[in-house]
Chain A
């Protein structure tokens, strides 16, 4: 490892609950709620309406701009309704409710094998865009945009993100064990698309079996190498990962391409392979269902649009004293109030926690202990930022760098006063964005 790591914390990982469980396919639920906004950037625009019949893999929403991806139907069936439904990200979102007809029939042209060895860079980008592929680590950034860096920002390294630094989550771990070849095929497609010869598979050291498997698989593949990473949260955050491996810092407010690097989650690589090699659009993903509140923790391959309650039932159901249902991991995930929320392209896990394990925020004053400064991987001063935000002094929060906060939660994890630091930053960021929008 050429670089280093600033800050970071060591939460209890609890990955053993699900890391040994191989990926299970779950049956189709009674209905699917497929959101039209499943990517960072512009939401997609619906091209279907109530009553329409759709086939599996059919486009039901077209991209709403350059930084946008299409959304496909996860199965064949009928559109029961379109409207606004609770989504896992915390807002009501436009979605289509699809009732499967049971046939699960692919659309014409989908699901046939294709030789990927001859695909050229432009073709790969088109395939990735048309398949609706987004960053599957949770960020859901449209992949085809990542593959189109401007001329003046050449990329010389592709990093496959197998770090999976969030506690409890194991979907990437299982993918690396069970879909090793496919991931690497997808990665080589990406490498070809941006003409990069150096590909590094980054895996945290707490997954020795995955490291081993990947090492075997990359033998004979030119340009590939496996880099075991120090176990620290948030090792898998893009900027931190690039710094650890290459020693280069992504400039504040900038994108990884400015450090000459491209990072892709291993699940995204798999999706790229399936899109290119099997002409299947992105309609399903592996979700780790885990935590003390679930009867049978495991890694479930579920269709996009599967309601949380169905996936929880598939894993044996939820215990009565479950206090929190989190979409994503416990450090950055979003707590849910309704099990009607449905899986989207970025739902890496569903964690069910009991009251005793859940953090209880208190609105106590900051005791200036400095633990948050030590923990912050972006070298910010969360203490000062939170005090400014409390007093609504948003200009100062901007001065002190709140827009560079990656909301990893390391600061609030260690705060002895249990202040809701990340919430303060989210609030400040929203306020600053609103003000700049108003200013035009």
Chain B
């Protein structure tokens, strides 16, 4: 018994000695600034900054090759902290962006063209005549965006449509890339008038496919301040730089325009946006 204890203890000691020596001998030179920045960064390695990971961004910021506010996920707080490390006063008012799925056509509102049987993935379903939705622009609700989100911020509702949980969204933009229909957009967190449709179909055709589609009647364009909303081929598109009064939403005959602050997830649920 004693031999066993001594032998194991001895092995342990030997091992830890070896590790300690290796840590000294094989140590890698790191920039202390880069290490400090890395501590401050969120550490999700989501790639939104364009670098492969948080460590790479930290290194580039320390070298002066990247902006202090390059991390969209960290936002204001992280940028300020990095500024302190770099000895720079950061006061930029970076606005927060959140992702928004510009489609409200779930299974209750939009019809399908066929029963889809296959891989539970929007890109795969899109290969078959543009997906099972009758509207060729609409959200397919199979979760490719949810899978791509490193923060678990997208839910696929039981009604078959994706909705971003703006509490968790960091604006990294992975979902925007992943969506095969390209209907997820990053919008300023404070804006509160949204057109939840991406269909460029003509009015009658859009209406046939979905009860909350934009029919291109242009009532909102006329009601809103000049240039705030413009038409893109039968689809009304909001210019998020402009201030739009909430009353414009009431002009829409289809109920496509919803009012809720982009960053307010409870508000989005209440407004019925995406459900």
Contacts and interface: CB of A to CB of B under 8 A. Distances in A.
Interface stretch (A60-68, A100-108, A160-168, A422-430): A422-430
A430 B127 contact: yes
B68 to A, nearest CB: 30
B113 to A, nearest CB: 5
Interface in A83-126: 86, 90-92
A361 interface: yes
A142 interface: no
Contact of A91 (B118, B121, B129): B129
Contact of B119 (A86, A90, A91, A424): A424
Contacts of B30: none
A436 interface: no
B127 A427 contact: yes
B124 A338 contact: no
Contact of A360 (B117, B120, B124): B117
Interface in A402-440: 420, 423-424, 426-427, 430
B127 A426 contact: yes
A13 interface: no
A338 B113 contact: yes
Interface in A293-350: 335, 337-338
A423 B124 CA distance: 7
A427 B119 contact: yes
Interface residues of A, number: 16
Contact of A363 (B114, B119, B123): B119
A424 B128 CA distance: 13
Contacts of B119: 363, 420, 423-424, 427
B145 to A, nearest CB: 14
A365 to B, nearest CB: 13
A423 B121 CA distance: 11
Interface string B124-145: 1001111000000000000000
A363 B129 contact: no
B129 A86 contact: yes
A337 B114 contact: yes
Nearest to B114: A337
Contacts of A338: 113, 129
Contacts of A420: 117-119
A91 B120 CA distance: 20
Contacts of B113: 337-338
B37 to A, nearest CB: 30
A344 to B, nearest CB: 16
A423 B129 contact: no
B87 to A, nearest CB: 39
Nearest to A427: B124
Interface of A: 86, 90-92, 335, 337-338, 360-361, 363, 420, 423-424, 426-427, 430
Interface of B: 113-114, 117-121, 123-124, 127-130
20 contacts: A90-B127, A90-B128, A91-B129, A91-B130, A92-B130, A337-B129, A338-B113, A338-B129, A361-B118, A363-B120, A420-B118, A420-B119, A423-B119, A423-B124, A424-B119, A426-B127, A427-B119, A427-B123, A427-B124, A430-B127
